[in-house]
Amino acid sequence: MKIYLKIWRQSDAGSPGQLVSYELDQVIPHMSFLEMMDTLNEQLILNGDRPVEFDHDCREGICGQCGMMINGRAHGPIPHLTTCQLHMREFKDGDTIYVEPFRGAAFPVKRDLRVDRSAFDRIIMAGGFVSVNTGQAPEANGIPITHEQAESAFDSAACIGCGACVATCKNSSAALFTSAKIAHLAKLPQGKMESGKRVLSMVAQMDIEAFGHCSNTEACEVECPQHISVLNIARMNWEYTLSRILKK
Amino acid sequence: MELNAKIPQGPLKDKWSFYKDHARLVNPANRKKMDVIVVGTGLAGSAAAASLAEMGYNVKSFCFQDSARRAHSVAAQGGVNAAKNYKNDGDSVYRMFYDTIKGGDFRSREANVYRLAECSAQLIDQAVAQGVPFGREYGGYLNNRSFGGVQVSRTFYARGQTGQQLLLGAYQALMRQAAAKTVTLYTRHEMLDLVIADGKARGIIVRNLDTGEIERHSAHTVILATGGFGKIYYLSTLAMGCNASAIWRAHKKGAFMACPSWTQVHPTSLPQSGDYQSKLTLMSESLRNDGRIWVPLQTAEKRKPNDIPEDERDYYLERRYPAFGNLAPRDISSRAAKERIDAGFGVGPQLNAVYLDFSKAIKEQGKEKIKEKYGNLFDMYRKITATDAYTEPMMISPAAHFSMGGLWVDYELMTTIPGLFALGEANFADHGANRLGANSLLQACVDGYFIAPYTISNYLAGEINSKRLPTDGQEFVDAEVQVRAHLGKLLAINGTKTADHYHKILGKLLYDYCGLSRSKKGLMYAIHEIKQLREDFYQHLKVPGTDDEMNGELEKAGRISDYLEVAELMCQDALTREESCGAHFREEYQTPEGEALRNDEQFCFVSAWKWQGADKEELLVREPLHFENVELTVRSYK
Amino acid sequence: MDKKQVLSTLLRKTLMALTGLFLCFFLVIHLLGNLQLLMPPEQAKESFNSYSHLLSGNIFIKIISYVLYASILIHCLDALLITLSNRKTAGKYAVDKRGASSKWYSRNMGILGTLILIFLVFHFKDFWYQYKFGSLPKDESGHKDLYTIVIAAYQDWWYVLFYVLSMFALGYHLLHGFFSAARSLGVYHPKYVSWIRVFAIGYSYAITIGFAIIPIYIYLTQHVLWN
């Protein structure tokens, strides 16, 4: 396959960037998208050019490090997939592929396709945890949790923090990411204890980080590699309102 | 030279209690004055950093990923073992200890392994308290599944993402401490050297991967929890960034490496499909609970798997190991697969795979049940291969996975450098020559949550009078000069081949000659080739850009320069161990049936290697293993 | 962006939801009143005018009407605030196909809302203002004859068209808005969420068709059937 690429190149956060065209011959349909990018970089290095910086690590869809806008869609054209799981068989010979970084005021570009997603860490830091020290834990079977409850908590907890929800949101809202953690912990007795305080501080941090409002378009759920449900957002809204009302 | 593992006195089951009762403590006022560096934010690193910060130490946490949550523990799928005996199937701490010792082919320390089993129950409590959503039964109690190499169900799981959920628990504990300002986070920082002052580990040199800046950080103790280096095989189940650099550079500063050649090759990974491939995706071993492994009975089979009748299939694991069948331990399963593939029975376009078939389980339990257990794995399989494993068998093949070897540590997890600790996969401790499934998450967590807090306090209690070491001292200056020189050297070559080019060649070499099976001839050849490759590397490597900017290629080149040295030591290690044990299979030492032939007379020891300088052979130091509680038997799963 | 906002993003959305849902409720009352226009002309005139009279006199209704004005105002201003802030936070792409993963009307609530607002200006001017401040003739019962004004207004095809198109804008706005409001207020139980979704769709169709059919009916009855 021959592929034409238009890739966002930007040397650092302060500089302007632009789309640069590349051509790549001998792309194999079984290649993953990132392996195609590796091939391009190999070619660039040997030609004496600077290779494209992009985020990636585990390449099996779980670490959440990779993420690009491919042809205007977060993680490419297939729903519920990370960039590393996208394969070139989804494209045709002669296709032009546009590759841009995830964008949003809270996700500044560091270089080329690498973005700074540390805002997510700070949201978790604001309260996305159970306040238990090592050694304080009681017997694990002490508090029964129904099968459904545990499964539902897992569904929320499965978030990989890739940021596709923000990238695909027209407002760059982090509602899905933030709510997934709030819901995960609110659904379990261990996390329930602090849920009121947690939701207030996590939402406040989310706002400080310059993420937008949630318009409930549900695009985030479609792009989410882990199928995180938008009902988590509803849960967050519920917990938030409740907590505001009950707050002394 | 004697290696002292510092095993506490007393009967096996009292050793850890004895240690905890007698370990020295640091009073809370002094803890505030002591700095701890933790490199790596996987389960071991995050758990240790969070636990030590909770105690009141000042912790600096480093990782090369852009968030602590992305460390490769995240990718562990199947589960975590614990001797809770919730299933009432006869499990106990001792049985778990025995399974692990036996699984490791009697090449690990009794005391360490017993402690691992002993702390396992506590870990489940801890994780549940953190909000880890383990699988539960309908009555609300925790569920277990069985796993390779054992006959009880002791594996706790969170669907197929147990590692992710445990890591998020640890990550959240870490972030909680970061919010409390007891932990300072340094993401996108890579450790490039260890700083030693007065013979003790007192700091590290790191590179900020976003800016290229070289930084110096000092502390009273340094903990390396940097994971395994299976990525040295290039094609592996590891993340692209996994590396040996931190432990290797510590090794070059005096920390011994133990049994570096013991690498677990995982039996259930997706096969390689071409030269462009950058990694092999792991399919959880838990699939072997319900999946049956087979190859066609005849070579060059052209029919589709579903068209091959039952009596023309060879369920070789069930045939060779009737007692354990498809749940035979990893080393045995991988080797059995390789045996069939090498004999020409492999399937798939490259004839490099075997089938993993769920049709029987789906028929017996229903598709829904299978979906609930492994849904995400089947989804993943479909995403990567565009094949529906509910209707057609999966194709799997062995892939480099876990490093049993690593920095040599004593019972306190301290390396041969005082003040330098190694936790989790980065150390050599509990798994012997082969790790049992679902023990890696356990070991990483236990090291981080339950062992390091005691042993590090014990060490720091002796350091309360040592002041913070200024980073402008000679030790730091020298280390930084060395680091800069190495980066400069890599950049200056300006040749014609990329770092990946060398990595691929090295990986293939290791997989062929120091992988699932090894021979003297092959290993000697590999050592020769590696030396040549290293020379070529320093003549023809091409690294674009500079060292004072973000430069992914420079990072890679640095890691590969280390791999080229590690690889040689791995071969050396495999060459000197003239026996077969666990994952280490020497072709010269096997039974007539092709099983591993251990030599307890001569090789019942841990090989610890001491760096002697760039052009010198490493020195082998033996730590004899003493077995007082178990009898060394032939490890049979028949 | 550093200081903590008094009105968090979530609270702003709650406000949108509450005011929006109140407007939804009002639409039902409004539609029920308007449906009287579908009765035979004489009966419709009597009924509609006395209903209008009832609405203008009652103190309870008066309070509701002030809540209504406030809701419209808050809904608009809050929307403006949200849109302006979203504009600052939103990522912009050179090639943007993000639309593939959501409904067009859910992404364009601002535009739909603006269309409705423009419609409202005319609507208020033509009927509400006339009724409140204009000099309307009286009908047989002595009530202001709004009925005749309404019938007169729908004599022009372009006005009917404008009205009907506006109702479609309203329809799409409701299609997303109603259920989005429930989401913002935190209905998270999957069962009730799906009920609300079904109800919201039914509601939106009913309101749109209900309001749109009246001018069409009047236009047709005046021009086609009786001429």
Please give the domain boundaries of chain C with CATH numbers for all domains.
9-88+103-225 (1.20.1300)
Side-chain-side CA neighbours of residue C132 (13 Å): 10
* Closest by Cβ to A72, choosing from C98, C109, C185: C98
Residues A78 and A18 in one domain: yes
Residues A104 and A128 in one domain: no
- State which residue of chain B sits closest to A89, comparing Cα positions: B386
Using the Cα atoms of residue B197, residue B203, residue B208 and residue B209 in order, give the sign of their dihedral.
positive
Which residues of chain B have a CB within 8 Å of the CB of A28?
Answer: 274, 276
Residues 112-151 of C with CB under 8 A from A: none
User: How would residue C138 be classed by pLDDT, with cut points 50, 70 and 90?
Assistant: confident
Q: Residue B240 and residue A57: Cβ atoms within 8 Å?
A: yes
Question: For residue C227, is pLDDT > 50?
Answer: no
Which residues of chain A have a CB within 8 Å of the CB of C82?
Answer: 213
Whether pTM > 0.90 for this model: the answer is: yes
Side-chain-side CA neighbours of residue B167 (13 Å): 29
Which residues of chain A have a CB within 8 Å of the CB of C4?
Answer: 204, 207-208
Bridge-based pairing of strands A3-9 and A96-100 is: parallel
Question: For residue C195, is pLDDT > 90?
Answer: yes
Segment B187-217, tens digit of pLDDT: 999 999 999 999 999 999 999 999 999 999 9
Range list for CATH 3.90.700.10 in chain B: 266-399
ipTM above 0.85, yes or no: yes
From start to end of B297-375, where are the E strands? 313-314, 354-357
Q: What pLDDT is recorded for position C224?
A: 67
Segment C63-107, tens digit of pLDDT: 999 999 999 999 999 999 999 999 999 999 999 999 999 999 999
Q: How far is A130 from chain C (nearest CA, A)?
A: 22
Question: For residue A116, is pLDDT > 80?
Answer: yes
Identify the residue among B31, B63, B69 best suited for mutation to test binding to A, counting A beta carbons within 10 A and taking the highest: B69
Residues A172 and A202 in one domain: yes
Question: For residue C1, is pLDDT > 50?
Answer: no
Which residues of chain A have a CB within 8 Å of the CB of C94?
Answer: 8, 19, 98, 100
Q: Residue A58 and residue B239: Cβ atoms within 8 Å?
A: yes
- State which residue of chain C sits closest to A167, comparing Cα positions: C91
In this structure, the number of other CB atoms found within 10 A of the CB of residue B553 comes to 23
Residues A91 and A32 in one domain: yes
Query: Cβ distance B568 to B561 under 8 Å?
Result: no
3-state secondary structure of B161: coil
CB contact set of B632 (below 8 Å; sequence gap of 6+):
B106, B598, B600, B604
- Mean pLDDT score across all residues of chain A: 97
User: How would residue C7 be classed by pLDDT, with cut points 50, 70 and 90?
Assistant: confident
Residues A104 and A215 in one domain: no
**Gap between the Cα atoms of C201 and C220, Å rounded:** 28
- State which residue of chain A sits closest to B494, comparing Cα positions: A48
Q: What pLDDT is recorded for position C5?
A: 60
List B206's β-bridge partners, or say none: B191, B215
Q: How far is A8 from chain C (nearest CA, A)?
A: 9
Residues A175 and A59 in one domain: no
Residues A182 and A206 in one domain: yes
Q: What pLDDT is recorded for position A244?
A: 93
CB contact set of A28 (below 8 Å; sequence gap of 6+):
A1, A88, B274, B276
Residues A232 and A130 in one domain: yes
Q: Residue A144 and residue B139: Cβ atoms within 8 Å?
A: yes
Query: For chain B, how many helices (H) and strands (E)?
Result: 18, 20
Assigned CATH topology for domain B474-597: Methane Monooxygenase Hydroxylase; Chain G, domain 1 (1.20.58)
Interval C122-151 mean pLDDT: 87
Domain of A162, CATH number, reads: 1.10.1060.10
The architecture of the domain spanning B266-399 is Alpha-Beta Complex (3.90)
**Gap between the Cα atoms of A65 and B68, Å rounded:** 11
Q: How far is C62 from chain A (nearest CA, A)?
A: 29
The residue with greater pLDDT, C51 or C73, is C73
Q: Residue A218 and residue C92: Cβ atoms within 8 Å?
A: no
CB contact set of C94 (below 8 Å; sequence gap of 6+):
A8, A19, A98, A100
Contact of C97 with chain A, judged by CB distance below 8 Å, is answered with yes
Domain count across chain A: 2
* Closest by Cβ to A128, choosing from B172, B274, B449: B172
Contact of A50 with chain B, judged by CB distance below 8 Å, is answered with yes
Closest CA to C14 of C180, C193, C175, C173: C180
List B39's β-bridge partners, or say none: B62, B224
Which residues of chain B have a CB within 8 Å of the CB of A114?
Answer: 66, 550
3-state secondary structure of A73: strand
Q: Residue B126 and residue A137: Cβ atoms within 8 Å?
A: yes
Q: Residue A217 and residue C11: Cβ atoms within 8 Å?
A: no
* Closest by Cβ to A185, choosing from B47, B131, B210: B131
List chain B residues with pLDDT less than 50: none
For tokens 């609270």, what's the residue?
C11
Residues 28-87 of A with CB under 8 A from C: 69, 71-74, 77, 79
Query: Cβ distance B86 to B142 under 8 Å?
Result: yes
Regarding chains B and C, contact by 3 or more CB pairs under 8 A is answered as: no
Residues A135 and A178 in one domain: yes
CB contact set of B93 (below 8 Å; sequence gap of 6+):
B13, B83, B114, B117, B118, B120, B121
Identify the residue among C98, C192, C197 best suited for mutation to test binding to A, counting A beta carbons within 10 A and taking the highest: C98
Token pair belonging to A229:
């449900």
In this structure, the number of other CB atoms found within 10 A of the CB of residue C104 comes to 12
Which residues of chain A have a CB within 8 Å of the CB of C109?
Answer: 215
Q: Read out DSSP for B385-453?
A: H---TTTS-EEEEEEEEEES-EEE--TTSB-SSTTEEE-GGGEE-SSTTSPPTT-HHHHHHIIIIIIHH
Closest CA to B480 of B217, B292, B237, B291: B217
Domain assignment of residue A57, given as a range: 3-111
Domain of A16, CATH number, reads: 3.10.20.30
* Closest by Cβ to C86, choosing from A73, A107, A213: A213
Q: Residue A160 and residue B164: Cβ atoms within 8 Å?
A: yes
Q: Is B534 a catalytic residue?
A: no
Question: For residue C2, is pLDDT > 60?
Answer: no
Residues A60 and A144 in one domain: no
Segment A164-190, tens digit of pLDDT: 999 999 999 999 999 999 999 999 999
* Closest by Cβ to A57, choosing from B241, B277, B383: B241
- State which residue of chain A sits closest to B187, comparing Cα positions: A118
* Closest by Cβ to C185, choosing from A170, A171, A237: A237
Residues 180-219 of A with CB under 8 A from C: 183, 203-204, 206-208, 210-219
For tokens 């988590």, what's the residue?
A232
Residues A182 and A211 in one domain: yes
List B407's β-bridge partners, or say none: B257, B427
Residues A59 and A12 in one domain: yes
Candidate list B292, B330, B518, B559, residue with the active-site label: B330
In the complex, which subunits touch C with 3 or more CB pairs below 8 angstroms?
A
Residues recorded for chain B: 638
Interval A93-108 mean pLDDT: 97
Question: For residue C225, is pLDDT > 80?
Answer: no
Our measurement of the distance from residue C138's CA atom to the centroid of its chain's CA atoms, rounded to an integer in Å, reads 28
* Closest by Cβ to A56, choosing from B122, B125, B240: B240
Q: Read out DSSP for A142-166?
A: GS---HHHHHHHHHHHT-----HHH
Our CA angle for B613, B619, B620, nearest 5°, is 155
- Mean pLDDT score across all residues of chain C: 92
**Residue where one domain finishes, among candidates A81, A111, A141:** A111
Q: What pLDDT is recorded for position C3?
A: 44
- State which residue of chain A sits closest to B499, comparing Cα positions: A42
